[in-house]
C-alpha cells in the first residue's frame, strides 16, 4: 500500500470507532464548561482578592482551567487510537497489509494528530471567548498582547497531550496499562511534584507543567520558572518526540 492509501485506511479506522467521537466530544464539553464555571467564580471573587493576587490575575489562563480535566479525554483518545488494534488482535492484519511498520505507525499518528489539532483549536477558542464572557469587566481581548498566542497554544497543548499518549500507547500496547500509567501521572503525580517545594524544580520540566506555560499571558509575581511560554512548549515537544521514537523503536523490534 502507498502512504496515501495507508493514511486513508487509518482515517477510516478512526472515524468508524464510536469511542473516538465520544472522547473528543467529552474533551470539548468538559474544557469549555469547567472553564466557564471557574471564570464566573473568579469574576465574583475579584473584588475580594488581595492586591498581589490582582497583579497576577490572568483572565486568559483562567478560561483554560477546564483543560486540567479535558486533557484526560485527549489522553484516552490518544491511547485508544493506537492500542485498540492490539486489544482486538487486528494489529496482525494491519501489519500484514502494511509491512512497513514506520509507515503504519506514523500514518495512524498523523491522522489522529490532525483530528486532535482541529478539536483542540476549536476547544481553545470556544473556551476563551465563553470564559471571557463570564469574566465580564475583567476579561481580556483576543487582540491584547500575547493573548492570541495563548489561545492557539491551548489547542497545540491539547494536541501534544494526545500525541504523547499515542507514543506511550505504542510502547505499552495495552490500553489498560497505558491509561493506568498516564491518568495518575497527569492527574496526580505531576500536580504533586509541581506544587511541593522539594520537587517543584523537577515538576516544572514534566510535559504538562512545561507545556501549559504557552497558555499564560500574565506571569505570577512569585514565579521563578527558568523558561518562558515557547521554552515550555519546546520541553513538552521533546517529551512527545521521545515517546514517539520509543513507540517506533519497540514496534520495529517486537512481534505483533
pLDDT in tens, the chain (256 residues): 666 777 887 777 787 777 888 899 999 999 999 999 999 999 898 877 887 888 888 999 999 999 989 999 999 999 999 887 777 767 777 666 766 777 788 888 999 999 999 999 999 999 999 999 999 888 999 999 999 999 999 999 999 999 999 999 999 988 899 999 999 999 888 988 888 888 888 999 999 999 999 999 998 877 888 999 999 999 999 999 999 999 999 888 876 5
Task: Read off the C-alpha cell for 241.
Answer: 518526540
Predicted confidence at residue 17, as pLDDT, reads 73
pLDDT number for residue 5 = 76
What is the Cα–Cα distance from 153 to 156, expressed in whole angstroms? 5
Q: Cα 116 from chain centroid?
A: 9
Output the pLDDT for position 173.
86
Please identify which residue in the block is written with the cell numbers 475579584. Answer: 46
Contact predicate 170/82, CB 8 Å = yes
Q: What is the pLDDT of residue 161?
A: 97
Radius of gyration for the alpha carbons in the chain, expressed in angstroms and rounded: 19
Asked if 10 and 111 count as a contact pair (C-beta separation under 8 A), the reply is yes
State the Cα angle at 231 between 221 and 209, rounded to 5°: 65
In whole angstroms, give the CA distance from residue 109 to residue 23.
16
pTM (2 decimals)?
A: 0.92
pLDDT for 89? 65
The three cell numbers locating residue 77: 483518545
In the chain, % helix, strand, coil (3-state, to 5) comes to 80, 0, 20
Amino acid at each position: 500500500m502507498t502512504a496515501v492509501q495507508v493514511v486513508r485506511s487509518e482515517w477510516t479506522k478512526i472515524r468508524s470507532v464510536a469511542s473516538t467521537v465520544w472522547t473528543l466530544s467529552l474533551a470539548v464539553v468538559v474544557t469549555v464548561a469547567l472553564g466557564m464555571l471557574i471564570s464566573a467564580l473568579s469574576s465574583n471573587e475579584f473584588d475580594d482578592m488581595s492586591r498581589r493576587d490582582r497583579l497576577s490575575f490572568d483572565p486568559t489562563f483562567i478560561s483554560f482551567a477546564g483543560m486540567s480535566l479535558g486533557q484526560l479525554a485527549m489522553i484516552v483518545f490518544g491511547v485508544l487510537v493506537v492500542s485498540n488494534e492490539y486489544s482486538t488482535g487486528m494489529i496482525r492484519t494491519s501489519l500484514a497489509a502494511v509491512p512497513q511498520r514506520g509507515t503504519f505507525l506514523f500514518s495512524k499518528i498523523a491522522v489522529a494528530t490532525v483530528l486532535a489539532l482541529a478539536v483542540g483549536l476549536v476547544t481553545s477558542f470556544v473556551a476563551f471567548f465563553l470564559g471571557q464572557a463570564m469574566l465580564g469587566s475583567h476579561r481580556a481581548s483576543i487582540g491584547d498582547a500575547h493573548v492570541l498566542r495563548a489561545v492557539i497554544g491551548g489547542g497545540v497543548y491539547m494536541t501534544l497531550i494526545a500525541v504523547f499518549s499515542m507514543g506511550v500507547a505504542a510502547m505499552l500496547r495495552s490500553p489498560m496499562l497505558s491509561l493506568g500509567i498516564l491518568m495518575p501521572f497527569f492527574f496526580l503525580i505531576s500536580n504533586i511534584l509541581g506544587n511541593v517545594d522539594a520537587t517543584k524544580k523537577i515538576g516544572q520540566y514534566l510535559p504538562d507543567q512545561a507545556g501549559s506555560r504557552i497558555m499564560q499571558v500574565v506571569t505570577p509575581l512569585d514565579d521563578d520558572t527558568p523558561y518562558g511560554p515557547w521554552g515550555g512548549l519546546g520541553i513538552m515537544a521533546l517529551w512527545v518526540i521521545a515517546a514517539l521514537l520509543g513507540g517506533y523503536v519497540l514496534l520495529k523490534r517486537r512481534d505483533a
